[in-house]
Amino acid sequence: MFNIASLNSQYNSEINDIIQHKTKPPGALGLLENCAAQLASIYSQKQQKLVTKISIIKPSMLVFAGDHGIAQHPISIAPSAVTRQMVLNFMAGGAAVNCFCRTNEIAFKVIDAGIIEPLSIDETRHCDAFIEQRLGAGTADFSTQAAMTESQVEQGLKLGSQIAQQTIDEGCNLLMLGEMGIGNTSAAAAILVALTGQSVDECVGQGTGIDRQQLALKKSLIQTGIDRLHCSSTPLSTQQIIAEFAGFEIVQMVGAICAAAQAGIPVLVDGFIVTSAVLLACKLHPQVRDYLIFAHQSNEKAHLLMLSILSAEPLLHLGLRLGEGTGAALALPLLKSAASFYNDMASFDSAGVTV
């Protein structure tokens, strides 16, 4: 479905020279230097010439929402109805991610990928930020059956790809993703177990802040879902893992990530749920990894494990565990700062500084 080119090293030497000749000791700007180098390399490859000025244009946040059958069990502090309520909150501009997007001038859209109860025409009539591309009224309970059909996986990848490409066609050259879905930390943890073979204990955390009894139930249900598949001697394909455990919002994020990489556009990655989609996208197309910048390390237990698997060094560690794309929105000023020093900081020669 996707044709993704690896990021080549054609311009790396020249980009490194630009960075190392700035008026600073080598490496003194830490991860900002890595960010500048990666952005310059991505944009140089896309433009097929050395980029000496990094331009971040119309950075955009896509928040995908979907409900999860696993949430019919008491594994969250909130019922599934909250997913829909939060979609309305996003549309009204009242969520944390809305605040951060306004502050940092990030274009915003919220996508109904498959919440239980669709929004009415009256609820959506005056909101240009809302997009409906539903795969169903929430997924099935993966502790007893596959979360979705393989046909829904294919459709979800396509829909996520289309909205990402539409956003890029509107002028965006930096994509951020967020999510909303009661129960989606369970889905992300199950995906991590299925992809890596790590234990449920290592992969499952407290999500929104559940108590010990709820955490024990959450682990038990995820283990039951994993055990359903142990009778098969054939390893699951990545698309089968998506079908078994993912949410409708997660599969669409996988499509969006792959589409951005295919278009040569960097993706600023949020927390635990978005990173589960990243793992799946990288499993489908390893070249995707070249286009990813990791915003933060969340407080969800297994996010550090995910980052380690991806050899990712996140920009921030603020103790976040909200999702919604909040960490990515908060990290954007760091990318802009990386672009600023790359573009405007004097070189030793231009400043007449001798070392």
pLDDT in tens, 282-333: 999 999 999 999 999 999 989 999 999 999 999 999 999 999 999 999 999 9
Which one of the listed residues 244, 249, 300, 324 is annotated catalytic?
324
Residues 6+ apart with CB under 8 A from 351: 23
CA angle 221, 191, 267 (to 5 degrees): 140
pLDDT of residue 234: 79
Rounded Cα–Cα distance for residues 113 and 135 (Å): 6
Tokens at 30, concatenated: 């830490």
- Is pLDDT at 267 greater than 80 in this prediction? yes
- Is pLDDT at 232 greater than 70 in this prediction? no
Q: Residues of the chain with pLDDT > 70: what percent?
A: 99
Give mean pLDDT, residues 143-162.
98
Specify the residue for token string 């669709």: 118
pLDDT of residue 7: 95
Dihedral-angle region of residue 117 (phi above 0 means left; psi in -120 to 50 means alpha; beta otherwise):
beta
- Give the lowest-confidence range in 146-155, 203-212, 290-299: 203-212
φ, ψ at 156 (rounded to 5°): -65, -45
Q: Residues of the chain with pLDDT > 90: what percent?
A: 92
> Is residue 33 among the annotated active site residues?
no
Residue pair 178/273 in contact by the 8 Å Cβ criterion? no
Rounded Cα–Cα distance for residues 23 and 350 (Å): 9
Residue pair 120/100 in contact by the 8 Å Cβ criterion? no
Tokens at 57, concatenated: 């244009």
Residues 6+ apart with CB under 8 A from 311: none
pLDDT of residue 231: 65
Give mean pLDDT, residues 214-218.
93
pLDDT of residue 114: 98
Single pTM value for the model: 0.96
Averaged pLDDT of the chain: 95
Tokens at 193, concatenated: 């177990």
Give mean pLDDT, residues 41-65.
97
Rounded Cα–Cα distance for residues 40 and 100 (Å): 25
Instruction: Give the count of alpha carbons within 13 A of 146, CB side only.
Output: 14
